[in-house]
Structure 1
Amino acid sequence: MAEQAHPALPDRDRLARLAELQAAFLASAERADPATKVPSCGRWDVRQLVVHLARIHHWAAAQAERRQEVPLGRGPFDLPALYAACAAELREALARLDPDARAWTLLDDGIPRAEQTGTVAFWHRRQLLETLVHLWDLRIATGEGCAGDDADWLDCLDEVVGTMHPRQVRLGRAPAPEARVTLAPEDVDGTWTLQGAPADAPEVVVRGPVRSLALLAWGRASLDDAALDVDGDRALAAAELARGLTP
């Protein structure tokens, strides 16, 4: 289905914000030791994280243009040069294309062709948020501190609940929720509830800063985070989150 904007989301120039976050990621990558471990990404180090995001940008540019990407190869790579080139490729493709033009997107996985709705604008948002989360990963690994502002993290939370988690369920990567887990930012009007639970399912409300809730949804935080409060069965909420809201 097409993405629907939550009333609390501000209007944003996502392509411009993508460029800002890419520049921040490149600057941090240039300062970082490539061998530094990235705890939020399993066994990855900085080198693997930078190559991953570069590859994702390269792939997304092709998806927006509805073509197969040319593989980048196995490397080794000059990390800053690789990332800068792939980031620019993505920005230039998205700037050149009509945001309303049809594109291959994650909205359409498993959807009959006649019902597909993905457009280039999807990638403005998806790549902004991909960059945001991995900039956070990089800066936490290097000790530079958090990244992004509340508008970024609100967009991130909305995308998980409205797009990424429903896709996980649609593709059979996660079961439909057995509890109504609601994420309630204390610094934003509105709440976000995981879709698909039975109407009579028990409800658990998790409250906290929007950044903490978005990181929780992306598996970068846990319910033990001191910034989060849980109203309801904590074990139920933990079980739903453990099934994976994102790829």
Structure 2
Amino acid sequence: MNTPSTSSTPAKHQLADPVFAEDFLLDGIDEILTMFTPRQLRLGRMPQPKGAVIFHVPGARSWKLGQGVAEASIAAPLHGMYLGLWGRSNLAETALIEGDKALAVQVLQGPLTP
């Protein structure tokens, strides 16, 4: 008789969520928003946003993408923002978006990275 495993060890084919240090996650977010995305914009690989968007990780820091007054903000917990910006989750569905949602979604569609 097969009984379900009560072990906390993941099954053979199941991957556990990796645990990364806060500074690693912040560095990964910063890398996208201050290096990759500006490069994507400069090379014309991503449409120029029609307004500025703030990316905010509560309790950590914020980044501004675009010029002028922010017309939208995208807020998510550190792990969620990291995964979303690296394309491992959908920030348009999981983040708190305030202001011009269409602008925020356009920016999230990027492509933010090469």
> Which residue of 2 is the match for residue 64 of structure 1?
none
1:240 aligns with 2:107: yes
CA radius of gyration, larger in: 1
When normalised by structure 2's length, the TM-score is: 0.76
Higher relative contact order (CA 8 A, sep 6+): 2
List 4+ stretches of structure 1 deviating above 6 A: none
> Which residue of 2 is the match for residue 192 of structure 1?
63
CA contact (8 A) 2:51 2:68 kept: no
**Mapped partners of 1:211, 1:219: distance in 2:** 12
User: In structure 1, what residue type is equivalent to 2:108?
Assistant: L
> Which residue of 1 is the match for residue 9 of structure 2?
none
Map of 1:164-243 to 2, 5 A cutoff?
A: 164-188=36-60, 190-194=61-65, 197-199=66-68, 203-222=71-90, 223-225=92-94, 228-243=95-110
User: In structure 2, what residue type is equivalent to 1:224?
Assistant: E
**Mapped partners of 2:48, 2:19: distance in 1:** 31
When normalised by structure 1's length, the TM-score is: 0.38
Higher strand share: 2
Q: Secondary structure at the match of 1:224?
A: helix
Count of residues in correspondence between the two structures: 102
Report the CA distance between 1:175 and its aligned residue: 2.2
CA deviations on 1:85-122 (whole Å, 9 max, x unpaired) are xxxxxxxxxxxxxxxxxxxxxxxxxxxxxxxxxxxxxx
**Mapped partners of 1:146, 1:178: distance in 2:** 36
Q: Secondary structure at the match of 1:183?
A: strand
User: In structure 2, what residue type is equivalent to 1:207?
Assistant: A
RMSD: 2.0
**Mapped partners of 1:216, 1:203: distance in 2:** 20
User: In structure 1, what residue type is equivalent to 2:57?
Assistant: P
- Structure 2: gaps of 5 or more residues: 1-11
User: In structure 2, what residue type is equivalent to 1:199?
Assistant: G
Higher helix share: 1
**Mapped partners of 2:47, 2:102: distance in 1:** 17
Identity across aligned pairs (percent)?
30
Report the CA distance between 1:159 and its aligned residue: 0.6
CA contact (8 A) 1:185 1:213 kept: yes
**Mapped partners of 1:164, 1:241: distance in 2:** 13
CA contact (8 A) 1:178 1:240 kept: no
- Structure 1: gaps of 5 or more residues: 1-31, 34-141
User: In structure 2, what residue type is equivalent to 1:214?
Assistant: Y
